[in-house]
Amino acid sequence: MPDVSVLNVLLHGDAIGTITNVPGDQSIFAFSQGYIDNPRRPTLSLRFKDSLGGLITDIPKTQTRVTPFFANMLPEGSMRDYLALRAGVSSRREFFLLWALGADLPGAMILAPADGAELPPDEMDDDDDDERKKRIFRFSLAGVQLKFSAVKEAAGGLTIPVQGMGGSWIVKLPSTKFAGVPENEFSMMSLAAKIGMDVPDIKLVSLKDISGLPDGIGELKGSAYAIRRFDRADDGSRIHIEDFAQVFDVFPEDKYKRASMRNIADVIAAEAGQDDIAELIRRMVFNTLIGNADMHLKNWSLIYSDRRTARLSPAYDFVSTIPYIDSAKSALTIGRSKQMKDFSIEQLKYLAGKARLPEKLVTDTARKTVALFHEIWAKEKKNLALSSKVVDAIDAHIKTVPVAAE
């Protein structure tokens, strides 16, 4: 293996920088001069934007890992171990994982080996390269759940492409730990859409109607949840996105720490404007009412539809977690508290004051969302694909959230 390996960083197809791996497994990310000098440069990340709008080019080198902006594009947990195993690389060595998976990353970025070697060095050393090429997946999605990028068929089914690349839907497989998670997510996202939030097309799909599911993911039964990717246009072209762990330069394992809803609100107010502040408030209110304790930094994203301006991305990963984990504590601090029993109009006024959001917009939006939630939940809860256990858990939870009565 050569001592130094380089991955070209391409954004919307143009080379904008490199990640270089040097002996000792250190990685260095640097922008190209052309990108630095381009006054109309497409945005890679707010992480690299300074307070005057200039580009931050002084990026610390990392050991074994890559800098958080790139580390956040890799899956976590068992999903990561699974893809690493198939690629024949250690799940800890992030540069080599990116090498294997960098052809199909979230957003409009691609990582391509500079010397053209399609596969990273085989650390497992157990197969010839042809075998490895057949086995390897070339896509990456963040998060913990097992999920794949898929193509929708005319008949309504979904196909996971051979070698895993391409596809404009995400299929999230059922959890082996908790029952009914796809049904729960489908129901919560449907409710959010009915209440007026920006929700992509979604589907519940019988596992029988999904072809191309790989071996080795265990016995699965029932349905999977599918959502249309908002970072892929109809013609297959890519739309850039980033999550708030990337914006705040936080490694994925710190997604519950190091930043709060106030920090997210600050960014939305400065970069995106009032419509997105209202949408942020709707989503905060809704997820507190359904008892979603998992809205961490990676479950909020920005989208760059015009390649430069940040807007709040469409919604994803809304799940009522209280039926599974008996904790009514939000993933991130809202106002002064993480406790959902403290979530009130007063708390939102405090947040508005701190983040300098228009207070009336915040409180009006919150009240409207609560009213719509009650109306739509009462009408829909019997029609949704939810067990009575989940409905009862949400009904009991709502009574503990002050905003629900305001």
Helix count and strand count (H, E) for the chain: 12, 16
300 binds ligand ATP (CB under 6 A): no
Among 98, 317, 370, 377, binds Mg ion (CB under 5 A): 317
Nearer to ligand ATP, 35 or 318 (CB): 318
Stretch that binds Mg ion, among 66-74, 263-271, 299-307, 365-373 (CB under 5 A): 299-307
38, 62, 69: which is closest to 252 by C-alpha?
69
Characterise 46 by phi-psi region: left (phi > 0), alpha (psi -120 to 50), beta (else): alpha
Stretch that binds ligand ATP, among 36-44, 86-94, 296-304, 340-348 (CB under 6 A): 296-304
182 binds ligand ATP (CB under 6 A): no
Which residue type occupies 150? A
Q: Which residue has the tokens 């300098």?
A: 356
Characterise 240 by phi-psi region: left (phi > 0), alpha (psi -120 to 50), beta (else): beta
143 binds Mg ion (CB under 5 A): yes
- Residue tagged active-site, from 198, 276, 294, 317: 294
Site for ligand ATP in 207-266 (CB under 6 A): 227, 229-231, 243
252 binds Mg ion (CB under 5 A): no
Beta-bridge partner residues of 22: 26
Nearer to Mg ion, 76 or 342 (CB): 76
Helix (H, G, I), strand (E, B) or coil at 286: helix
Is 294 known to be catalytic? Answer: yes
Q: Are 149 and 238 in contact, with CB atoms under 8 Å apart?
A: no
Q: State the nearest-atom distance from the C-beta of 145 to Mg ion, in Å.
A: 8
Sort 348 into a burial class: Cβ within 10 Å, 0-12 / 13-18 / 19+. buried
Packing angle of the helix pair 359-380, 345-355 (nearest 10 deg):
140
**14 vs 275: CA distance, rounded Å:** 31
Q: State the nearest-atom distance from the C-beta of 315 to ligand ATP, in Å.
A: 9
203 binds ligand ATP (CB under 6 A): no
Structure-block tokens of residue 92: 């800890």
Nearer to Mg ion, 93 or 147 (CB): 147
Site string for ligand ATP, 33-72 (x = CB under 6 A): ----------------------------------------
Q: Which residue has the tokens 């690493």?
A: 84
Instruction: Give the number of residues in contact with ligand ATP, rule: CB under 6 A.
Output: 19
**135 vs 128: CA distance, rounded Å:** 11
Stretch that binds ligand ATP, among 12-20, 140-148, 260-268, 342-350 (CB under 6 A): 140-148
Packing angle of the helix pair 261-271, 274-289 (nearest 10 deg):
150
Site for ligand ATP in 96-125 (CB under 6 A): 106
**Which of ligand ATP, Mg ion, none is residue 276 near (CB under 5 to 8 Å by kind)?**
none
- Name the residues that contact ligand ATP, by CB under 6 A: 106, 141-145, 170, 200, 227, 229-231, 243, 294, 298-299, 301, 316-317
Active site residues: 294
